[in-house]
């Protein structure tokens, strides 16, 4: 299987505490790449202006970066020199990718996990594989924490997505493993699917001071419930909603956006952003599955935009003044959020019943598909570990 380690494998997750200027060598299948945060374009979010002043700008990337944090949808073995990641996500897909390559910096992290005596002593094969899986996630996450200045988001097993207590227990286990190898909790996020049980787990974990990253958000009800739970990061997949809308019908939320002449994904990000900022929730909003530059222009002002390297390179290569080609206008801002009107039905205190009744077919189908993908990847990792365990010299 050819694995590119794309999507969420290396998404920067915001304005993180700087922990020095880490640099190090990462062995690519073809060459060694120097990781240096100094080569990453200066990125920040503006809160004071509604458009870019008529000043010299090096590129479209500079222009859009003055409104939102533009983060590279990059990978472990991609071009760090052009767009080095500032934070990372360790996931089942990342573990699969590491296992598929013959020589990577992170190979030893997995080999160390497979040689762990605590896991070795587990008599139940399924518990042993689960132990190996957790150790591998944390070992790779710890390596990533030394390579990026920001937070590392660790994927929580999607097989637990409908069990609040199991999610919390798993996060505590992962946090304990990170603590044992001295990765501080402020450097960590835990990536949890936005089922009701996942949202409730986020609420309880955040009350303990544990930072969560809720993913698979495809409806306003999920976004609002996640914000009420106090999730640190809420991730919406713009392009996936658009893809669903092109091939399906019958979702009230998407049809309402269509009647207004709006793209379904952009409309959801806009509404969620306005809700978060109008009602003072602490969550930061991340727009993912960006398909083109227009998606970025339409979302300027959202906290984070994850963009593929191809789009970032196009923005970087476009040398222009704002008034020559595009009007770089902030579409989303805390002040404009105050003017947004929500219905009484949208301002409820979300619970399991109201969330279930408000989620349309798009959110239900896309959430299910996302969970199935994560579960299949986790099973493949454990299957692979079962085949290669024990490693040499163990």
Q: Which residues does the annotation mark as catalytic? A: 191
d(CA 253, CA 267): 9
Adjacency order of strands within the sheet including 69-73: 69-73, 304-308, 284-288, 233-237, 212-217, 188-193, 152-155, 88-90
Per DSSP, what are the bridge partners of residue 190?
154, 212
CB atoms under 10 Å from CB of 175, counted, come to 19
Long-range CB pairs of 80-84 (<8 Å, 24+ gap) are 80/26, 80/33, 80/34, 80/35, 80/36, 80/39, 81/33, 81/34, 81/36, 81/39, 82/39, 82/309, 82/312, 82/313, 82/316, 83/40, 83/309, 83/312, 84/35, 84/36, 84/37, 84/39, 84/40
23-27 and 32-36 beta bridge pairing: antiparallel
Q: Name every residue whose Cβ is closer than 8 Å to that of residue 254 and which is 6 or more positions away in sequence.
A: 241, 244, 245, 264, 360, 362
Main-chain dihedrals φ then ψ at residue 390, nearest 5 degrees: -80, 150
Residue 171 near residue 190 (C-beta atoms within 8 A): yes
- Return the exposure string of 371-387: e unless at least 16 CB atoms fall within 10 Å of the residue's CB, then b: beebbebbebbbebbee
Per DSSP, what are the bridge partners of residue 288?
237
Rounded (5°) CA angle 196-201-207: 130
- Cα–Cα distance list, 124 to 120, 167, 183, 376, 378 (Å): 10, 21, 29, 21, 18
């Amino acid at each position: 299987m050819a694995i590119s380690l794309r999507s969420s494998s290396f998404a920067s997750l915001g304005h993180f505490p700087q922990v020095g200027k880490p640099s190090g060598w990462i062995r690519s299948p073809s060459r060694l790449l120097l990781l240096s945060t100094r080569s990453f374009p200066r990125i920040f979010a503006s809160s004071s202006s509604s458009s870019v002043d008529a000043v010299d700008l090096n590129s479209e990337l500079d222009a859009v970066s003055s409104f939102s944090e533009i983060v590279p949808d990059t990978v472990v073995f991609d071009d760090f020199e052009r767009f080095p990641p500032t934070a990372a996500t360790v996931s089942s897909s990342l573990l699969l990718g590491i296992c598929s390559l013959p020589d990577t910096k992170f190979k030893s992290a997995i080999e160390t996990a497979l040689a762990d005596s605590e896991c070795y002593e587990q008599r139940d094969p399924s518990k042993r594989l689960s132990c190996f899986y957790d150790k591998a996630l944390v070992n790779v996450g710890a390596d990533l924490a030394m390579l990026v200045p920001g937070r590392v988001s660790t994927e929580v097993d999607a097989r637990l997505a409908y069990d609040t207590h199991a999610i919390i227990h798993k996060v505590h286990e992962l946090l304990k493993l990170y603590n044992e190898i001295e990765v501080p909790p402020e450097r960590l996020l835990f990536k949890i699917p936005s089922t009701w049980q996942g949202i409730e787990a986020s609420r309880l974990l955040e009350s303990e001071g544990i930072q969560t990253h809720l993913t698979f958000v495809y409806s306003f009800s999920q976004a609002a419930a996640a914000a009420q739970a106090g999730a640190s990061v809420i991730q919406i997949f713009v392009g996936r909603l658009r893809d669903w809308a092109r091939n399906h019908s019958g979702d009230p939320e998407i049809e309402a956006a269509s009647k207004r002449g709006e793209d379904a994904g952009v409309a959801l990000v806009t509404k969620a952003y306005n809700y978060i900022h109008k009602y003072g929730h602490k969550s930061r909003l991340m727009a993912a599955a960006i398909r083109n530059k227009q998606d970025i222009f339409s979302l300027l002002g959202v906290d984070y935009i994850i963009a593929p390297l191809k789009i970032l390179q196009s923005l970087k290569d476009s040398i222009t003044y704002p008034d020559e080609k595009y009007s770089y206008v902030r579409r989303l801002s805390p002040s404009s959020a105050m003017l947004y009107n929500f219905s009484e039905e949208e301002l409820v205190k979300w619970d399991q019943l109201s969330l279930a009744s408000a989620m349309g077919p798009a959110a239900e189908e896309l959430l299910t598909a996302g969970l199935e993908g994560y579960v299949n990847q986790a099973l493949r990792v454990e299957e692979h570990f079962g085949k290669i365990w024990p490693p040499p010299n163990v």
